[in-house]
Structure 1
């Protein structure tokens, strides 16, 4: 990313950018849409699905406008050429169009797919999306997550399946419980707001209640817990070997077990006791406290859309605390280097820490 692009982005974020500078920024972002992803700022955009029938009309209009900005070559005019242009540059166009504010409605076809009787929505790294169910409930899906839900909600109960992280704001419906199935826990509610985190590559799952109350069932332990506002339940995966010692690495004859913890929600600071860490991602805030480099790297992969390899396993145990809003992966790694020394390199969106 060029120094000039950083300068223009800084002016844009501060609200001090001029009309001429905004035009220059638009041009740079259109030419290099990947740079926007690497800054981690794509999450700040608002996406809205549009009906498939309207997609072609929107796409043609967007291509015409973007093509007018990108090039004026006669070879790119006409319907046939527009289709070839879309096929070759669909992803780059989508990102550029969103950044330029050409439209507030952008269809990510790959995020949405059908399953017999169900709809499935997935979010890629660096993205999140909002889903409104037929009963009026709203779900915010974090990066690297998948939600499967029925096309028509059952009259007796409402059930969805989550892999990843999501914030649920569930409409009250007496005698119609809402149930979320995660890896090792089921969450049952009648109507409330809460956050569920259940990534397959993490060694824990948690349910954090913002308002109302939920009933969490640890499926392996057959244990049912009621969780009240400003509380969370954490299910940690542990390996119990033949000596009775809990370890994090499975071996021959070792059995995976689940350790259950109850904790209060983590407020951001003594001066901000309203907002909590568990839902900071919804405000595009990357906050970490006493987190190992290994655990943090998994979050950074989803946040920035990169792959992180830690070659020195001793470095994987280093712990970090901090907050990183609106900065690139390169800048964040520089900051982490000042906390704990390590070396890194970045090539083709692959970060190597050694």
Structure 2
């Protein structure tokens, strides 16, 4: 990329870059940004991409938070983790510009990750037989929520404690991803290429629609459709059903699917907009969601507290405010110690 901007690439390299630019208007924007940086540099010199990349990684290590982790995973290869951005949305160009990175090639790598070209091929020799397909894994740690876009235009919101894996063959006849945790999908329409999600024992297939899917380990799998229709079922095709908008499907461990109407979608997908909504929600479920939302660790002095219910809505409040309101509503108390939050009935104090 650096050679392309400086006019020193071969004709073959130029053709590859030109093809890449034509695939997406966002790519052209990136090229224009790089050209502008190159033209403004007073000391144009050959870029040392390796040195610049190492410097960039060192800068990221100094940051306190990150909301997305991209793990490159290839067969017979160790995993390498790259922490991308401190922001919830991973597309913040000004965030990267402030570092004034010495090598513009590094900026290209950052912007490329920001657009999440999460499929690639590694080929470390001239032999095609040694090329290794790569599966990329995107991770949102507990206490984090992230938004990103695949190169087909599909937008994905990833909730805390969740992982999505994308095959290197994502751009083939079938767009396929693997989910563990919770995500909201705004799938780009493509009638010729279905979008398929494998999550636990479930398979979800769409052509283009909006829906939320939750598939945390040891929990029922839940699908909530906001727009369009979704084919949802188990690994056996005969168990597949069609779920329309404003409906929810629950799959138990026995592949039994129960479909019901949803009056308030915000209860299930409000987290995408930064809202925590509870309606007669058992405290044990509230604690799970607080753990994923804020990354809190908790203890219960009295296990009977788990069956008490809560109704309320919170929007981007600090964890202390949420805890104060919840405990006040329930008539209980809490204390923080050694990174844990202990909940107790006021009578137990």
TM-score, normalised to structure 2, is 0.62
For residue 342 of structure 2, give the secondary structure of its aligned residue in structure 1. strand
1:324 equivalenced with 2:310 (yes/no): no
Distance between the aligned counterparts of 2:270 and 2:292, measured in 1? Answer: 15
Counterpart in the other structure of 2:270: 280
For residue 196 of structure 1, give the secondary structure of its aligned residue in structure 2. strand
User: Per the alignment, do residues 341 and 148 of structure 1 end up closer, same or farther by CA in structure 2, a change over 3 Å counting?
Assistant: same
For residue 311 of structure 2, give the secondary structure of its aligned residue in structure 1. strand
User: Per the alignment, do residues 348 and 327 of structure 1 end up closer, same or farther by CA in structure 2, a change over 3 Å counting?
Assistant: farther
1:230 equivalenced with 2:237 (yes/no): no
1:104 equivalenced with 2:95 (yes/no): yes
Distance between the aligned counterparts of 2:138 and 2:309, measured in 1? Answer: 33
CA RMSD of aligned residues (A): 3.7
Corresponding residue to 1:144 among 138, 161, 165:
161
Distance between the aligned counterparts of 2:154 and 2:324, measured in 1? Answer: 41
User: Per the alignment, do residues 326 and 128 of structure 1 end up closer, same or farther by CA in structure 2, a change over 3 Å counting?
Assistant: closer
User: Per the alignment, do residues 102 and 235 of structure 1 end up closer, same or farther by CA in structure 2, a change over 3 Å counting?
Assistant: closer
- The aligned runs of 1:41-52 (5 Å cut-off) are none
User: Per the alignment, do residues 299 and 220 of structure 1 end up closer, same or farther by CA in structure 2, a change over 3 Å counting?
Assistant: farther
1:213 equivalenced with 2:225 (yes/no): no
For residue 92 of structure 1, give the secondary structure of its aligned residue in structure 2. coil
Extract unaligned runs of 5+ from structure 2. Answer: 1-33, 35-47, 68-84, 98-109, 121-131, 345-349
Corresponding residue to 1:352 among 334, 342, 346:
342
Q: For structure 1, which segment, 189-198 or 257-266, has the greater mean C-alpha deviation from structure 2 after superposition?
A: 257-266
Contact 2:164 / 2:179 at 8 angstroms: preserved in 1?
yes
Cα drift, residue 310 of structure 1 = 2.2
Contact 1:287 / 1:323 at 8 angstroms: preserved in 2?
yes
Contact 2:119 / 2:169 at 8 angstroms: preserved in 1?
no
1:172 equivalenced with 2:162 (yes/no): no
Distance between the aligned counterparts of 2:93 and 2:311, measured in 1? Answer: 38
User: Per the alignment, do residues 346 and 225 of structure 1 end up closer, same or farther by CA in structure 2, a change over 3 Å counting?
Assistant: same
1:157 equivalenced with 2:174 (yes/no): yes
How many residues end up aligned between the 2 structures?
251
Bigger relative contact order (CA 8 A; separation at least 6): 1
1:301 equivalenced with 2:317 (yes/no): no
TM-score, normalised to structure 1, is 0.61
Distance between the aligned counterparts of 2:288 and 2:314, measured in 1? Answer: 15
Q: Over residues 246-278 of structure 1, what are the superposed CA-to-partner deviations in whole Å (9 max), with x where a residue is unaligned? A: xxxxxxxxxxx35432122332xxxxxxx6332
